[in-house]
Structures are given as structure tokens and as C-alpha cells.
Amino acid sequence: MPDMSTPRILVFDSGVGGLSVAACIHRALPGAELVYLADNAGFPYGGQSEQVVIARSCALIGECLAQFSCDVIVVACNTASTVVLPHLRAMTVVPVVGVVPAVKPAAACSVNRRIGLLATPATIQRPYLDDLIAEFASDCEIVRVGHPGLVSWAEQLVQGGEPPQVELDEAMAPLRANAVDTVVLGCTHYPLLLPWLRKSLPEVNTWVESGEAIARRVGFLLEQSGRLTEAETTRADGAPVVIQACFTGAAPGDIAYFMMEMGIAVARISGQWPGATAAGSV
């Protein structure tokens, strides 16, 4: 593990969705530094083959670890988490945390046993999702929606855009028709859309995401390495939370302001990150 005075966590996604997870980690562990790595040159991962997602994720994360010693890796991308975790764990001793759709806590919350599951079209079709439902929500009616537009609408928020409410309402029609009382946000981009999702489905009582559970897991791993106290102690220096945000493509406009508004101010932003070239991913 890296010998650093401040615990450091690498958060990886294909775009800006992982920022929702980064914000949860910061709220739980305000003393930790974050490195944010976004493969927006390969976005969206839902449209890539498993082999491409594995190759890009492993190469980019490996190069990032060579530049920034980190205590924990968080794969804050549902699509990547379904295929890449065993490969990452085989290539590094740094603990790896993935994202799992929060089916289990949703089943614990639902009163009428009707649960909506929002995910990317790729994640919706993964067999592991069937296994999660069979294990934790077999007594529930699960209404799955794998809409291709949600992730792109979330990405547009960085540019100051808003999702088209009429189209979003149409996408949510199956959940409305089945009177779900709980919705699983099965993609890390989707918490960014919550204001519009709540407007579309005001009757939903509970929205369940994975960010807080990931933060707890990261805290557990830091505790195992004796670094939890440092991570939980708010730093007095007022330094930015994210020491560097690396984008394999162009850095999104207004990303610094967007991150500041989320409570995770960034010190440095690298668009067309050179590490992507070194990793052979661009």
C-alpha cells in the first residue's frame, strides 16, 4: 500500500456519473484525497463489447496507479463492474470496489413489493442482475427500464443543459403503469438526474443508489489498513478534495464548477490525459 500522509482513493468511470459516488465518499471520508479518472473517449461503455471495456479499464487504471499511488480503487461504473473486477484484482494488490445495483436494500424498503430498476441497456441484460433479483427480491415484481438516453442526459448537465422532461416522462411510463413505490438507480449517472426523476415519478417513496454503500466499503478497507481515522478527519488545510481529474477525451466544459457544486472541488483537470496514450487507449 502507498505510504502517504493522506489516504487516497481512485474513482473510475466512463464519464461524469462516478462523481455521484465521489461525492458520497467525500461526505463519509472528508480526510481522503480523490483522483477521478474518466474514460470519456470510450464513452458510453454500454455500447462497447466486454473485451473492449476490460482492456480499456485495466490499461487506464494501471497507468493511473503508476502516476498516483492510491489506497483503494473504486470502479464507479455499473457496466464496467459487471466484467472488469476479477481482471483488476488479478493485476494489482490495491483493493478494488465495484458497483452493484442496490436490489437488496430496495427490497428491504419496498412496501407494495413493486420495484423499478433503472439501468443501462447493457446492465439490464447481464445475468448477474437476474441472480441479484433471485437472491434478494424474489418476492417482488421488478420492472426493468434500460433506456439509452438517461446517461447522455446526465452528461449534458455538466454543460448546463437539462434532460428533456417529456422524453424522460415517456421513459418512466412502465414504472408509472406498474405503480412502483421504490426505484433502484442502477447506474452511477442516474443520481445526477434525481430532480427530474422525482418530478416524473412523484408517487415513488424511495430512490435507492449505491454511493453510500460504496463509501462504507471504502471506509471498511481503510480501517483494515489502519487508515480510517485519517480518512474520517476533515483536513484543516482547505485543499481541494480531488487532486486531479483525468479525462481521456476533452475535459467537459464547466466541469470544475460542476464538481465544486457537488462539494468535490478539483485542483487540476487533465483533458486528453497523456496517461491514456501511454496505456494505448486512444
Rounded CA-CA distance 219/72 in Å is: 10
Catalytic residue at 77?
A: yes
Angle (CA) 255-261-266 rounded to 5° is 50
Rounded CA-CA distance 223/32 in Å is: 13
| 78 labeled binding residue | yes
* Inter-residue contact 146 to 119 (CB < 8 Å): yes
| 130 labeled binding residue | no
| 147 labeled binding residue | no
Angle (CA) 100-150-187 rounded to 5° is 10
| 46 labeled binding residue | yes
* Inter-residue contact 107 to 115 (CB < 8 Å): yes
Q: Is 222 helix (H, G, I), strand (E, B) or coil?
A: helix
Gyration radius (Cα) of the chain, Å: 18
Catalytic residue at 246?
A: no
Beta bridge mates, 87: none
Catalytic residue among 24, 58, 64, 187: 187
| 14 labeled binding residue | yes
- Report strand pairing: 269-270 vs 8-13: unpaired
| 188 labeled binding residue | yes
Catalytic residue among 64, 70, 77, 246: 77
Q: Which residues are annotated as a binding site?
A: 13-14, 45-46, 78-79, 188-189
Q: Which residues are annotated as a binding site for substrate?
A: 13-14, 45-46, 78-79, 188-189
Residue positions annotated with a catalytic role: 77, 187
